[in-house]
A and B are shown apart, each in its own frame.
Chain A
């Protein structure tokens, strides 16, 4: 049964610890005050409950989900399997990022996979999606930071546009003027305007100081960053 949505401040961010054991308590407290949740993927390079398993639980309770998927822990076979799993579960969006390095996590001796970097992961998943039948496939986005404006930055944006993510989750600790300059520089790059933009303060993998919104009019909470 889909719970009735209660109006809340769309910029409210609810932050909870990584322990998935309290998800049911969160759901009770939220009481459908938000439409969607953002679910991390082994955040801080510490293994947690599989993000898709966790997403499935939230979806069953009527929430829309955005699932983080980082390339640190998986090769392209696993990425493909997880992408298909996400589509099967009804995950709305997948956000790709690099993630905290294995050596900074709780199992530093584990092998860092990095078969694909985030842009290569998006290109790979896009190719996979093109071959996928059916319309209920997740949108694929990239979480990245706005770099200082330098000669390479424009090529970096070109590379992002080349792999065609559906949306960009941009993190920046820089002042607004920096963002405006970055946008002005990027807007003429072919494919840039086709991407949806989501803003988040802070760095990838860290707690965003402001809301990480889920687009399409969904309000979101981010769990356990």
Chain B
């Protein structure tokens, strides 16, 4: 699940002040489950933005549309409001960064303002109803080695990304020194440790970061079985 957080209200207002007619696009996939992109949250945020703009002497028209998924063009084609030309000055997107860019690809003539900060691929770990607190679980390194680390992604859950044992900075009680609220992931790995049976004493070799988004824009062809080669077409 892609997890995002709402941008600070001040920043949001500063971004939309140059415009008069803004189409607000929610996204009912990942970010809604994560608690920020859903209809109720969008309405509350839009009301707050309108009020803040009004306080600054600006009247801005914001109209909300519901999109099932912003990051796929087929879903964008289903929204008639998005096809209207001349009606809007800008789009305010409550989708992840991928959704923002897909919206701009669909309407290259309209600036798209991100209402959210896209944070990570994560999972719920607790809070009210078990879904209030989300934790990062994957950084999309493109070179998965979970089977060597007790099925815990140390790149997503260890601040130092220690792949071959803990850093040694953890507290006596097994808490992370960078974020003492969190348990050292290597303590969790130790608790579920099973000899990997791999060669090289289980050594996890260096990541190939060229497979990740950190290696520049990546394109892969879907549905290839046992072939992760990049798509150069």
Contacts and interface: CB of A to CB of B under 8 A. Distances in A.
Contact of A144 (B168, B177, B193, B196): B168
Interface of A: 72, 76, 98, 100-101, 103-104, 112, 114-120, 123-124, 144-145, 147, 150-152, 155-156, 158-159, 161-163, 171, 203-205
A159 to B, nearest CB: 5
B201 interface: yes
Nearest to B164: A119
Given A152-B190, A158-B201, A158-B202, A119 B165 contact: yes
Contacts of A72: 160
A120 B163 contact: yes
Interface stretch (B10-18, B94-102, B108-116, B203-211): B203-211
Interface size class of B (residues with CB under 8 A): 20 to 34
B23 to A, nearest CB: 33
B162 interface: yes
Interface of B: 159-169, 177-178, 189-190, 193, 195-196, 200-207, 209
A159 B169 contact: no
Contact of A162 (B163, B167, B200): B200
Contacts of A114: 160-161
A152 B160 contact: no
B206 A151 contact: no
B119 to A, nearest CB: 16
Contacts of A161: 201
Nearest to B201: A158
A72 B178 CA distance: 13
A98 B168 contact: yes
A46 to B, nearest CB: 15
A151 B186 CA distance: 12
Nearest to A163: B203
